[in-house]
Amino acid sequence: MSTGFLKQLSATFILFLCLFSVKAQATYTFEISSKSEDCTKGAAGIQVAGTTATDVVTYNWSTGQTGVTSISNLDAGDYNVQININGTLDTTIAVKVEKDKCKVAMSNHFTPNSDAYNDTWSVGNTHYYPKFELYVFNKWGQQVYSQRGKYEPWDGKWNGVNVPDGTYYYVFYYDGGNKRDLEKGDVTILR
């Protein structure tokens, strides 16, 4: 064999090793996501970038679920996912699902005109707060409605009499014993 052929063969072999080396050192990036637990349960997910169609990726979540990139119906807390790529990269990534307050959902108007449509004031998520207190005031600061503990839709009456159309102001205490944790705003009655 000639020296030139051996140099060419050697260069080809080195080039092949370089290509193989680049393939073996693939860069993967991980993006973790989570949805906090509020009125519903939380969720977590993982995205792996940099894989190819030939890569074998496995996922093992601390909840026991395997083979999935996202999990749901989670209570607040710490979770992790173990990711294995081609049996050579093995990493564990942590994710935290926070506990957010489930806010009450106040309708901003209602029409108590007995047409069976929007006749009462809707306040959602009160069932999460068994010690709530709700007060409604007119523009002069006089209380025209109140309730505690269990929400009953307001029909726009105070002591059996229709209150006048207009804007009313509410204060909702999540826990009647803690007057700092509250929602306030206004609701309009249109007949």
pLDDT in tens, 131-181: 999 999 999 999 999 999 999 999 999 999 999 999 999 999 999 889 999
Q: Are 104 and 70 in contact (CB under 8 A)?
A: no
Does one domain contain both 168 and 123?
A: yes
Domain boundary among 76, 97, 118: 97
Tokens of 65: 């679920």
Q: Which residues of the chain have pLDDT under 50?
A: 1-24
Tokens of 183: 């929602």
Does one domain contain both 51 and 122?
A: no
Specify the pLDDT at position 88. 84
Angle at 144 between CA 143 and CA 146, to 5 degrees: 80
Specify the pLDDT at position 72. 93
Q: Total structural domains in the chain?
A: 2
Confirm whether 3 is domain-assigned.
no
Specify the pLDDT at position 185. 97
Q: Are 125 and 100 in contact (CB under 8 A)?
A: no
Does one domain contain both 174 and 128?
A: yes
End-to-end CA distance of the chain: 102
Q: What does the alpha-carbon distance between residue 37 and residue 95 come to, in Å, rounded to a whole number?
A: 13
Does one domain contain both 171 and 140?
A: yes
Domain range holding 118?
105-189
Does one domain contain both 165 and 110?
A: yes
Specify the pLDDT at position 149. 93
Does one domain contain both 151 and 109?
A: yes
β-strand partners of 124: 105
26 half-sphere exposure, CB direction, 13 A CA radius: 16
Specify the pLDDT at position 25. 56
Q: What does the alpha-carbon distance between residue 121 and residue 110 come to, in Å, rounded to a whole number?
A: 6
**87 conformational bin, left if phi > 0, alpha if psi -120 to 50, beta if neither:** left
| Model confidence, pTM | 0.62
Report the CATH number that the domain containing residue 76 is assigned in CATH.
2.60.40
